Amino acid sequence: MKINIYYGGRGVLDDPTLGVLEQVEQVLGELRVEIGRYNIYEQKNKISTLPQTIRGADGIILATTVEWLGIGGNMTQFLDALWLYGDKEEIEHIYMQPIVISTTYGEREGILALENAWEILGGQLCEGLCGYAENLKAFKENSAFAKTIEKKVENFYRTISRKTEGLPCSNQAVRRSVLRNTTMKLTPQESDQLSVFVSNDNYVARQKQDISDLSAVYKDMLGEQDNTVDKDFVNAFLSHFKPFEDFKASYAFEIEGKPVPLVVSIDRDRIECGYKNITESGIDVIIRISIDCMNEITNGRMTFTRAFNSGKMSAKGQFSTLRKLDEIFVFAKWGRSTQ
């Protein structure tokens, strides 16, 4: 039988969980169990590869210390790595015993968190061990505590030996249904390879740089597309302008998604068209319109009046000046229209 121990504390000398693990290892040694010990704080740079170590284990012990709130970052990162890179089929056959010792408050919440995590991962759960250690020396020298620890470990050993199965739980149902699409479908070999890549800082940095470069390329492409649309609208107004004698007006088209409006200024037979900031006092008609509607109008499939009447376009200003747009700019292929 092989049992792995994963310690999620900080490794300080006065950590009571370390004292408990010493007794646990002594009991397992007497039972002739093969023990694998992994101190997660020593594996921070390659924590994503730790899930590979559960292969071949019959059971594992997740041990951590609650120093102020929760099970701590080291254990949380390890559980995250198990979810992302662990072999779920392997985990289904592995028994887990949680051990949580608190120096403040929250050992029961901590053990519950480990139990919930392991059940969602799909593993087999065994009765855990939790307690509060106010004084490390008194805790280690208490013979009653030692007997409790010994009994818990022996029960863990018997559960694994007998392959005892627990009743189904809702956490496992969540994994099979609600969360089934949240992780990538990878083979065990692919998961191992991915975890190695993730732990390689140079590889991760290179991937981030590649993503950044691609993002810059796409931003440039989108910027070019926006500029093309902008130029198309400006060219459309300039090429379809039909001057009217003694007519002067300024229109501001606030096009959806554009930071500044398209301003069209007409003075008899002269026209200025471009994107710029405006003040309402210098504009006769302010028009709010979507890009799609503007495209329909400039391509001759709709008139400004019809867009306004149908609610696809809104305007503020003199209505007579607004209606003049369809006479000044004839986009329709069949000729001048104010419909």
Q: What is the pLDDT of residue 199?
A: 63
- The percent of residues in the chain predicted with pLDDT above 70, rounded, is 83
DSSP letters of 295-312?
Answer: HHHHTTS--HHHHHHTTS
Arithmetic mean of pLDDT, 143-167? 92
Domain membership of residue 12 (yes or no) is: yes
Of the three residues 195, 218, 248, the one that is the final residue of a domain is: 195
Q: What is the pLDDT of residue 334?
A: 45
Arithmetic mean of pLDDT, 236-248? 87
Q: Which of 200, 12, 15, 172 is nearest to 103 (CA)?
A: 15
Domains identified in the chain, total number: 2
- The percent of residues in the chain predicted with pLDDT above 90, rounded, is 46
| AA letter at 190 | E
Q: Which domain holds residue 74?
A: 2-195
Indicate whether 185 and 259 sit together in one domain: no
Indicate whether 75 and 158 sit together in one domain: yes
pLDDT tens-digit readout, 204-228: 677 777 777 776 666 655 554 455 5
Beta strands in 194-269 (DSSP E): 248-255, 262-267
Neighbours of 30 (CB within 10 A): 11
Which strand (E) or helix (H) includes residue 234? helix 201-239
DSSP letters of 132-200?
Answer: E-SSHHHHHH-HHHHHHHHHHHHHHHHHHHHT--PPP-HHHHHHHTTTTTSS----HHHHHHHHHHHH-
Residue pair 128/101 in contact by the 8 Å Cβ criterion: no
Arithmetic mean of pLDDT, 86-113? 94
Q: What is the pTM of this model?
A: 0.58
Indicate whether 51 and 170 sit together in one domain: yes
Indicate whether 156 and 301 sit together in one domain: no
Do β-strands 270-275 and 262-267 pair in parallel, antiparallel, or remain unpaired? antiparallel
Record the tokens describing residue 122, joined without a space: 């799909």
Domain membership of residue 337 (yes or no) is: no
C-alpha 10/C-alpha 12 separation (Å) is: 6
pLDDT for residue 186 is more than 70: no
pLDDT tens-digit readout, 11-24: 998 899 999 999 99
Arithmetic mean of pLDDT, 39-67? 94
Residue of higher predicted confidence among 249 and 174: 249
Q: What is the pLDDT of residue 227?
A: 52
Q: What is the pLDDT of residue 167?
A: 78
Indicate whether 148 and 69 sit together in one domain: yes
Of the three residues 172, 195, 218, the one that is the final residue of a domain is: 195
